[in-house]
A = this chain, B = another copy of it.
């Protein structure tokens, strides 16, 4: 268990370093989680209020299925840990990433009233396992309730598959996949598609 936990810690810390290098945690935003065990569910989640540009022994803490620390610690789990709890309760995913980028927030605002944004004919949707020529990737956009349990409840309605992505309006994206590699792949594919769509919208002004 300890060896596995260390392996997962390193996996998540490497992802954190890579996303931090892209400045995807502006203003200490964002939080990350990776599952360590299934029965009972335990996962590592980012501690609240840390500088994600630095790599320290206090970056993550182990929590249970309800998001409570497994061991006594002065660290506090991220305020939005309940969203990660929802992922591990409703899906078989092993990693979930919540990240703010300018492009994902802009898309969440532009298409927020539609409740979703669709992508078709884009090569990058293959990251979601969609290989058919007419495949359609639809990413839900949910309202940003300040009340986290209510937000987690709304978010849970969209956890029907073992990998996926949900935008929260003006509050970033959450992606989940079987492991860190897949979750990061989905996150990057979404960011690429969002930057693409933002750029098209800048040309065909609304």
Contacts and interface: CB of A to CB of B under 8 A. Distances in A.
B106 A196 contact: yes
Interface stretch (A33-41, A61-69, A120-128): A120-128
A91 B133 CA distance: 29
Interface string A50-63: 01010000000000
A171 interface: yes
B170 A109 contact: no
Nearest to A169: B121
Nearest to A171: B123
Interface residues of A, number: 50
Contacts of A191: 26
A2 interface: no
Interface in A104-125: 105-106, 109-110, 121-124
Interface stretch (A70-78, A82-90, A156-164, A182-190): A182-190
Contacts of A92: none
A16 interface: no
Contacts of A110: 200, 203
B121 A100 contact: no
A102 interface: yes
A175 to B, nearest CB: 11
6 contacts: A26-B192, A27-B192, A28-B188, A103-B199, A105-B122, A123-B171
Given A121-B169, A203-B205, A204-B205, 4 more contacts: A26-B124, A100-B192, A105-B196, A131-B146
